């Protein structure tokens, strides 16, 4: 019995020592989160707007312009900085080409504004899409300067990030002329599929204008390109803008292996 009590006492004395023994692994510390470096460039939309009133408070004119710009980060190399400078120089030209303060100079002489309360407006909105090595930029312009109705117009720019310059939409292909002819035929096929009344309303010269689609508004999208002819380009104002969607799958051969790789990141199927 005495021996048993001695064993139990020894075990009791050992327990605190075991409980206080330091951990061999140490405290658990979370690993620091690895943050990705900022991209060398981003695209931002900058707004420029103003409005003008007469001395009696009558609104005369309002303008509102959205302009796309390429901004570089501290990590950007000289090549990216040069590309941003080329991009922004053209976008500066877009802004300089707007009416701006001239809108007020026109409106102040229009006595009809006080009667109709319809003041002059000039608006510019922008959308852009990055597809492959290209940045597709589309501007939609709408202006009212006292006529029977407002006038709208769409125009586009295509920036090649590999070359660091703006290019013609047909230059996305290895053979620009082949792409131009192929898209022309596809647009004409869509027009031929319209109702006869719609086709009869088009200008007689529309086939020639369509054949120069690359000089008009062309937007690159994820799955295809869209050609837009503004009002008055292939038809009267009442017809409005006419847009034609061309899937990339329908122009694969015309793009060529290099064009498909630059645009879609994959070679064209042979």
**Any idea what DSSP says for residue 215?**
G
* Structural domain includes residue 218: yes
Kindly report the CATH number assigned to the domain that includes residue 220.
3.90.640.20
201 occurs within a structural domain? yes
* Burial of 139 from C-beta contacts in 10 A (0-12 / 13-18 / 19+): buried
DSSP 6-46: HHHHHHHHHHHHHHTSPPSS----PPPPPPPPPPSEEEEEE
Residues 98 and 174 both lie in one domain: no
Does residue 44 share a domain with residue 146? yes
Quick one: pLDDT band at residue 39, thresholds 50, 70, 90? Answer: confident
Q: For residue 182, give both structure tokens.
A: 């192929």
CATH number reported for the structural domain that contains residue 114 in this entry: 3.30.565.40
Q: Is there a single domain that holds both residue 42 and residue 161? A: yes
**83 plus 156 within the same structural domain:** yes
Would residue 233 count as lying in a domain? yes
Domain boundary among 132, 167, 202: 167
Higher pLDDT, 77 or 4: 77
Specify if 106 maps to a domain.
yes
Establish if 123 belongs to a structural domain.
yes
User: Would 63 be classed as within a structural domain?
Assistant: yes
Count of C-beta atoms within a 10 Å radius of residue 179: 23
pTM to 2 decimal places: 0.83
Give the integer Cα–Cα distance in Å for 52 and 103.
9
What is the pLDDT, as a whole number, of residue 264?
A: 83
> Does residue 162 sit in the same domain as residue 251?
no
Residues 128 and 234 in one domain: no
> pLDDT digits over 5-18, tens only?
454 444 544 444 44
Cβ-based neighbours of 107, under 8 Å, separated by 6 or more: 52, 60, 61, 113, 119, 120, 145, 146
For residue 228, give its domain range.
168-264
- Confirm if 158 and 223 have CB atoms less than 8 A apart: no
Q: Are residues 109 and 154 in the same domain?
A: yes
How many domains would you assign to the chain? 2
Shared domain for 67 and 174, answered yes or no, is: no
Q: Is the pLDDT of residue 149 over 80?
A: yes
> Which of 150, 167, 184 is the C-terminal boundary of a domain?
167
List residues bridging with 62 in a β-sheet.
51, 121
Residues 145 and 56 in one domain: yes
Per-residue model confidence as pLDDT tens digits over 221-258:
999 999 999 999 999 999 999 999 999 999 999 999 99
Q: How many CB atoms lie within 10 A of CB 86?
A: 15
Asked if 72 contacts 111 with a C-beta cutoff of 8 angstroms, the reply is no
User: What are 45's two structure tokens?
Assistant: 């939309």
pLDDT score at 124:
98
Farthest-apart Cα atoms in the chain, separation: 121
Beta carbons of 186 and 193 less than 8 angstroms apart: no
Q: For residue 13, is it within any domain? A: no
Q: Which of 146, 167, 188 is the last residue of a domain?
A: 167
174 plus 154 within the same structural domain: no
Q: What's the pLDDT at 136?
A: 98
Of residues 18 and 82, more confidence is placed in: 82
141 found inside a domain:
yes
CA separation for the pair 87, 118 (Å, rounded) = 36
What gap in Å lies between CA 198 and CA 240, rounded to an integer?
12
Q: Do residue 161 and residue 239 come from a single domain?
A: no
Verify that 85 and 109 share a domain, yes or no.
yes
3-class state of residue 177 by DSSP: helix
Q: Which helix (H) or strand (E) holds 122?
A: strand 120-131
């Amino acid at each position: 019995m005495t021996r048993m009590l001695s064993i139990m006492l020894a075990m009791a004395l050992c327990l605190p020592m075991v409980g206080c023994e330091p951990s061999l692994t140490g405290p658990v510390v979370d690993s620091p989160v690895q943050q990705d470096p900022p991209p060398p460039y981003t695209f931002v939309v900058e707004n420029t707007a103003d409005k003008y009133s007469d001395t009696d408070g009558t609104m005369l004119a309002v303008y509102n312009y959205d302009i796309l710009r390429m901004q570089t980060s501290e990590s950007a190399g000289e090549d990216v900085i040069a590309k941003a400078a080329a991009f922004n120089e053209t976008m500066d030209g877009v802004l300089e080409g707007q009416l701006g303060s001239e809108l007020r100079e026109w409106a102040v002489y229009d006595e009809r504004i006080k009667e109709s309360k319809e003041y002059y407006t000039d608006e510019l909105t922008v959308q852009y899409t990055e597809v492959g090595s290209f940045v597709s930029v589309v501007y939609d312009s709408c202006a009212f300067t006292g006529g029977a109705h407002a006038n709208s117009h769409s125009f586009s720019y295509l920036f090649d990030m590999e070359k660091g310059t703006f290019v013609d939409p047909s230059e996305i292909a290895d053979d620009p002329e082949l792409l131009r002819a192929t898209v022309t035929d596809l647009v004409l096929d869509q027009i031929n599929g319209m109702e006869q009344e719609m086709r009869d309303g088009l200008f007689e010269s529309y086939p020639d204008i369509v054949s120069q689609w690359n000089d008009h508004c062309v937007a690159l999208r994820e799955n295809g390109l869209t050609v837009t002819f503004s009002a008055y380009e292939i038809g009267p104002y009442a017809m409005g803008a006419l847009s034609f969607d061309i899937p990339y799958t329908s122009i694969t051969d015309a793009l060529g292996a290099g064009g498909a790789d630059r645009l879609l990141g994959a070679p064209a199927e042979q």
